[in-house]
A and B are shown apart, each in its own frame.
Chain A
Amino acid sequence: MLQVSIYRFNPETDATPQMQDYSIDTGGKDLMVLDVLELIKAEHDSTVTYRRSCREGVCGSDGLNINGKNGLACITPLSETVRKNKLVIRPLPGLPVVRDLVVDMSLFYAQYEKIEPYLQNDTPAPAIERLQSPEDRAKLDGLYECILCACCSTSCPSFWWNPDRFVGPAGLLQAYRFLADSRDQATDERLAKLDDPFSVFRCHGIQNCVNVCPKGLNPTRAIGHIRTMLLNRAA
């Protein structure tokens, strides 16, 4: 029997959060963490609350803190995370808890909004599409794949301390995605907005973001590229 411990908090009835334990029969299968949550909800306790949607690592809904490391519950197999038969599931750290494993993502989305995550190009739109050379298109690889699950930003101490000012790894990865796009014309305006002491420069390169990204992306490298662009712009 797998020993599962889940963070429970209902702000309407609980004064403080608490951990609740369950013994789960996995039938000897190497289930995903999300399967275990579904089992608990179906067979033990229907009040356990969490977000989930696609259950295949595409939608980014079920970012959770699993045995101390942020990840997507739907693509984290038990064999990868369970040690000593124990599974501890908490909400993503650093964001306000709405209920149980559901966090309020407003601060995270506000930072995403800040970097203006859309193509800016004032030239007349061509009849079909704005073309890009294969080389220019390749520059977006490792950037466009982000699903905004918030695993990276909520594992970043700089984001914990300054979630209102530091854009965070997810936002900065997307900032670079548009800085690197040959079709975007707002490079200078984008860089000007990132030049303050907080937005980019609170990153101290500890790479928690790289360590947890379920899609294997590297926000630290993107932040390095942004720094280089800021340096070149100022030089």
Chain B
Amino acid sequence: MVTQVTSFSRNGLSDWLIQRVSSLILLAYFLFIAVQIGLGVDYTQWRALHDTTAMKVFTLLAVGAFVAHAWIGLWTVFTDYLTEYMLGPIGNIIRPLLQIAVVLALVVYAIWVVQVIWG
């Protein structure tokens, strides 16, 4: 049976709001990066940009938004398609396994980014 126990906030409104706010943060971040690349940066400038505290905070914010956004989105997809209702009893095995895989991947990405920008 699909329950909301594994949902991000266990509340539809919060998930919905987080999904929208995180998408705006990601949009701002990727637009900023695109403009930087569009203007043309070499390694030294790129390094200097990412060494500033403001940029580190911005990157970390974007990663946080990415983790939340990806989890809410994939949780929704999994609880739509990978359910007992859709696949039979096997759905209740496949869904948690994939959810664990996604959580692991997102945690690894987040730690990895922290290591890259603060390491």
| A-to-B contact residues, CB < 8 Å | 158, 161-165, 194-202, 227, 230-231, 234
Contact = CB atoms under 8 A, between A and B. Distances in A.
A197 B85 contact: no
A197 B4 contact: yes
A56 B43 CA distance: 73
B12 to A, nearest CB: 4
Given A161-B86, A162-B80, A162-B85, A199 B12 contact: yes
Interface of B: 2, 4, 7, 10-13, 15-17, 76, 79-81, 83, 85-86
Which residue of A161, A195, A199 has the most chain B CB atoms within 10 A of its CB atom? A161
Contact of B80 (A161, A164, A200, A227): A161
Contact of B11 (A163, A164, A196, A231): A196
B11 A158 contact: no
Contact of A197 (B7, B17, B81, B83): B7
Given A158-B80, A162-B2, A162-B79, A195 B85 contact: no
Q: Is the interface of A mostly helix, strand, loop or mixed?
A: loop
A161 B83 contact: yes
Given A161-B85, A162-B2, A165-B2, A198 B80 contact: no
Contacts of A196: 4, 10-12
Contacts of B15: 197, 201
A58 B2 CA distance: 36
A197 B86 contact: no
A177 B17 CA distance: 24
A182 to B, nearest CB: 24
A183 B50 CA distance: 58
Given A161-B86, A162-B2, A165-B2, A198 B81 contact: no
Contacts of A234: 13
B13 A198 contact: no
A230 B13 contact: yes
Given A161-B85, A200-B12, 17 more contacts: A161-B81, A161-B83, A161-B86, A162-B80, A162-B85, A163-B85, A165-B2, A195-B12, A196-B11, A196-B12, A197-B4, A197-B76, A198-B12, A201-B15, A201-B16, A227-B13, A230-B13
